[in-house]
């Protein structure tokens, strides 16, 4: 009796397997867009696109709402540099020296003449010799503007922050 039940289960399983769709039939239905009751691939891609757009919009909204709370040392460097009269070329040179030598923030190079000189010497060791004169000319000019020469009165210059605004 148990053997008979087992034989019936085996034959019913075999018939179910033979009734299943063959892989070639399944691939044809997918190719034709008739994958049974499944959602078409176009719908899935459209839904994924909508979700991505929603996430992007929410991220932009969050950034816009909190944009003033983030620290921007690069903008402070530009404002201070422009405030003391540095050209864009000079600002880029100071930034390049700070980043290339691993000094960090270029604003810190404008704090002391000795700091700027020391890190410029490190930078000069990393570039071709033929560029040394140009770099030193630019850095000397930056030093004169930022640290004021002794013959120039500090009172004759406008305050930095009023110029930078």
pTM: 0.49
pLDDT band at 61 (very low <50, low <70, confident <90, very high): very high
List, for residues 72-106, the tens digit of each pLDDT value.
777 888 888 888 888 999 999 899 988 888 887 88
List, for residues 21-51, the tens digit of each pLDDT value.
566 666 666 666 555 555 567 778 889 999 9
Burial class (CB in 10 A: 0-12, 13-18, 19+), 30: middle
Q: In the prediction, which pLDDT does 127 show?
A: 85
List, for residues 128-160, the tens digit of each pLDDT value.
888 888 888 888 888 888 887 544 444 444 444
The C-alpha atoms of residue 143 and residue 104 are separated, in whole angstroms, by: 19
Does residue 161 surpass a pLDDT of 50?
A: no
Question: Between 93 and 67, whose confidence is greater?
Answer: 93
What's 66's DSSP letter?
T
User: What does 14-83 look like in DSSP terms, one character per residue?
Assistant: HHHHHHSPPHHHHHHHHHHT--TTSPPHHHHHHHHHHHHHHHHHHHHHHHHHTGGGS--HHHHHHHHHHH
């Amino acid at each position: 009796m148990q053997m008979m039940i087992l034989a019936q289960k085996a034959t019913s399983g075999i018939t179910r397997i033979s009734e299943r769709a063959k892989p070639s039939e399944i691939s044809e239905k997918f190719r034709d867009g008739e994958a049974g009751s499944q959602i078409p691939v176009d719908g899935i891609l459209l839904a994924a696109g909508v979700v991505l757009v929603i996430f992007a919009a929410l991220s932009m909204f969050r950034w816009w709402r909190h944009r003033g709370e983030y620290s921007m040392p690069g903008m402070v460097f530009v404002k201070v540099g422009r405030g003391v009269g540095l050209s864009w070329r000079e600002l880029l040179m100071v930034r390049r020296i700070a980043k290339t030598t691993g000094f960090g923030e270029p604003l810190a190079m404008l704090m002391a003449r000795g700091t700027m000189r020391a890190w410029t010497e490190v930078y000069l060791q990393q570039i071709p010799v033929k560029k040394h004169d140009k770099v030193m000319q630019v850095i000397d000019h930056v030093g004169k503007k930022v640290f004021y020469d002794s013959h120039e009165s500090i009172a004759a210059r406008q305050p930095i922050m009023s110029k930078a605004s």
